[in-house]
């Protein structure tokens, strides 16, 4: 039985770092994936850190075809809506998500990762995040309201036994920058219409506007995912790291299409926050990473 990477559902962490890497020219697929797998298979738990390792889908398929989900592809083309709104494609080769209850532990984990991969990959993007008031994003609203309960979350994020890439997940990673001055110029009632939920207690509006964020990302309509979003940035420039996991790519891609307005009105929230990055990664099972790591890697 395949063993999922535990960091996907390592809830309760408050400090986060997201690192994306591109291969060093001349590095082979096997060398790059083996280095990332070795890092993922040998991360120490004594510092209470978790590390999620994601590999560009085409790269993982080339090196470990037996562990690759069918049909999953990189974020190779922008998602463009009919009015010109666009989510950029900034696909990289490897992504790491380090999380812990302490910023120092995350820093040490991330610094070690950059050093360990230095011979095969260059750090292309780094974002530091944190859990804002436990479950709020920087708009002030609760985030992840529609997440499945802990008992059923593994079935949402993990590919089932018998499926291609069993035990793995599909990871969508995006950085969204908030237009804070425009957002906070809105009265609370107007903000709630944009989100489609009440601000204090996250109760869904009934009826909710057709362009509300809750309507354009409704999981009963577009498919169920598990969100692990965090806040990032400074007072002058900040936003949300969208961290979404699913057993299939379809619900994630369909949700982005809906937000861009491909099947109806554009998501009202996209008028107050803009996407800066976008990438898909396969999160291989932990045992698949371990099989690729050298036998003496944890010595």
So what's the pLDDT on residue 299?
45
Cβ–Cβ < 8 Å for 271, 178: no
Q: Is residue 74 part of a domain?
A: yes
Residue 213 lies in a domain: yes
Name residue 85's beta-bridge partners. none
Would you say 289 and 298 are in contact if contact means Cβ atoms under 8 Å apart? no
pLDDT one-digit tens code per residue, 144-158: 999 999 899 999 999
Q: What is the pLDDT of residues 185-216, one digit of tens each?
A: 999 999 999 999 999 999 999 999 999 999 99
pLDDT exceeds 50 at position 19: yes
More confident residue, 295 or 253: 253
pLDDT digits (tens, 9 = 90+) for 229-245: 999 999 999 999 999 99
Q: Distances in Å between the alpha carbon of 46 and those of 50, 111, 138, 238, 298?
A: 10, 16, 31, 32, 14
Residue 114: per-residue pLDDT: 97
Residue 1 lies in a domain: no
What does the pLDDT read at residue 66? 82
Strand-pair category, 279-283 with 169-178? antiparallel
Cis peptide before 178 (omega within 30 of 0): no
- Mean pLDDT for 57-65 is 96
Please state the domain count of the chain: 1
Residue 298 domain flag: no
299 domain-assigned: no
297 in any annotated domain: no
Average pLDDT over residues 165-185: 97
Distance of CA 225 to the CA centre of its chain: 11
Look at residue 251 and tell me whether its pLDDT is greater than 60.
yes
Write the CA distances from 51 to 1, 64, 151, 207, integer angstroms: 21, 20, 22, 41
Domain that holds residue 30: 6-292
Query: How high is the mean pLDDT of the chain?
Result: 95
The verdict on residue 151 lying in a domain is: yes
Q: Is residue 150 part of a domain?
A: yes
- pLDDT of res. 296: 67
Q: Is the pLDDT of residue 46 over 70?
A: no
Query: CATH number, domain at 169?
Result: 3.30.70.1030
Nearest Cα to 96, choosing from 157, 128, 51, 59?
51
- Give the confidence band of 41 by pLDDT, cuts at 50, 70, 90: confident
């Amino acid at each position: 039985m395949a063993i999922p990477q535990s960091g996907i559902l390592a809830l309760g962490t408050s400090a986060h770092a997201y690192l994306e890497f591109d291969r060093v020219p001349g590095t082979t697929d096997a060398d790059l994936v083996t280095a990332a797998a070795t890092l993922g298979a040998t991360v120490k738990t004594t510092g209470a850190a978790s590390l999620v390792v994601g590999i560009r889908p085409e790269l993982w398929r080339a090196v470990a075809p037996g562990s690759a989900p069918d049909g999953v592809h990189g974020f190779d083309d922008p998602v463009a809506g009919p009015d010109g709104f666009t989510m950029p494609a900034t696909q990289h080769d490897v992504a790491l998500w380090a999380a812990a209850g302490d910023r120092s532990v995350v820093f040490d984990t991330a610094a070690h990762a950059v050093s360990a991969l230095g011979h095969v990959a260059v750090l292309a993007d780094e974002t530091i995040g944190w859990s804002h008031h436990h479950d709020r994003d920087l708009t002030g609203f609760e985030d992840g309201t529609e997440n499945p309960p802990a008992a059923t979350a593994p079935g949402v994020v993990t590919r089932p036994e018998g499926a291609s890439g069993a035990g793995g997940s599909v990871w969508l990673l995006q950085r969204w920058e908030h237009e804070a001055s425009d957002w906070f110029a809105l009265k609370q009632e107007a903000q709630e219409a944009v989100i489609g939920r009440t601000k204090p207690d996250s109760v869904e509006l009934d009826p909710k506007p057709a362009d509300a964020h809750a309507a354009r990302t409704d999981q009963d309509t577009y498919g169920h995912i598990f969100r692990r979003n965090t806040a990032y940035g400074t007072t002058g420039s900040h936003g949300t790291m969208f961290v979404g996991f699913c057993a299939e790519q379809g619900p994630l891609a369909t949700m982005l299409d809906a937000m861009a307005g491909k099947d109806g009105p554009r998501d009202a929230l996209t008028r107050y926050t803009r996407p800066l990055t976008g990438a898909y990664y396969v999160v291989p099972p932990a045992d698949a990473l371990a099989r690729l790591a050298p036998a003496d890697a944890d010595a």
